[in-house]
């Protein structure tokens, strides 16, 4: 058992032995994760030295983190941007028109909830899901390119910030606590 590779942010695709890319086959990701999990699991090293047990635990932690990241399309896209040196856009750096639209969306949701109409909340949620799906489609289109232009990567960063908003909105609409 070897220690994890040194470095701040490992390539999560490399951790799982997968090629870098936005579009991943879920079955292949799951199979690769299960195979490596069985190989690295700390239980397999119960009788090993303390150092080897620690390495196993560290490798398993990296593997689990890589899997969670690559399993989620938004987190996978964020990771691809990080690997290209693009910092994620903060929610406060969003275009003014988007922020105004977001406020209007929230007001409509609040009104629909106050009226008690589940149909109204669902209709508003369906509209946000459409926006989310369109953003994911645009992200996939840009990241399909082997060497996208800096402006296109900036657009992906903005779209990822929008996805965070859409996720919070949908959580609120469904009455769930937002995921962090």
In a domain, 114, yes or no: yes
In a domain, 80, yes or no: no
Q: Above 50 in pLDDT, residue 1? A: no
In a domain, 36, yes or no: yes
Number of separate domains in the chain: 2
CATH number at residue 26: 1.10.287.110
Examine the domain organization and report whether 100 and 32 are in the same domain: no
**Mean pLDDT within 148-171:** 93
In a domain, 47, yes or no: yes
In a domain, 83, yes or no: no
Examine the domain organization and report whether 67 and 96 are in the same domain: no
The pLDDT value given to residue 83: 92
Which residue range forms the structural domain that includes residue 46? 12-71
Quick one: three-class SS letters along the chain? CCCCCCCCCCCHHHHCCCCCCCCCCHHHHHHHHHHHHHHHCHHHHCCCCHHHHHHHHHHHHHHHHHHHHHHCHHHHHHHHHHHCCCCCCCHHHCCHHHHHHHHHHHHHHHHHHHHCCHHHHHHHHHHHHHHHHHHHHHHHHHHHCCCCCHHHHHHHHHHHHHHHHHHHHHHHHHCCCCCC
In a domain, 6, yes or no: no
Give 12-21 pLDDT, tens digit per residue: 999 999 999 9
């Amino acid at each position: 058992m070897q220690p994890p590779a040194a470095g701040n942010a490992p390539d999560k695709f490399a951790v799982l032995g997968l090629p870098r890319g936005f579009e991943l086959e879920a079955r292949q990701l799951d199979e690769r994760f299960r195979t490596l999990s069985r190989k690295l699991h700390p239980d397999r090293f119960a009788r090993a030295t303390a150092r080897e047990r620690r390495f196993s635990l560290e490798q398993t932690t990296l593997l689990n983190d890589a899997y969670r990241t690559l399993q989620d399309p938004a987190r996978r896209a964020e990771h691809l941007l990080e690997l290209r040196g693009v910092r994620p856009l903060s929610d406060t750096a969003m275009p003014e028109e988007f922020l105004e639209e977001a406020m209007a969306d929230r007001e409509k949701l609040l009104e629909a909830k106050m009226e008690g109409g589940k149909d109204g909340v669902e209709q508003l949620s369906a509209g946000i899901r459409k926006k989310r799906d369109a953003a994911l489609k645009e992200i996939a289109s840009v990241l399909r390119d082997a060497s996208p232009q800096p402006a296109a990567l900036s657009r992906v960063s903005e779209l990822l910030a929008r996805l965070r908003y859409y996720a919070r909105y949908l959580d609120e609409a469904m009455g769930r606590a937002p995921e962090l």
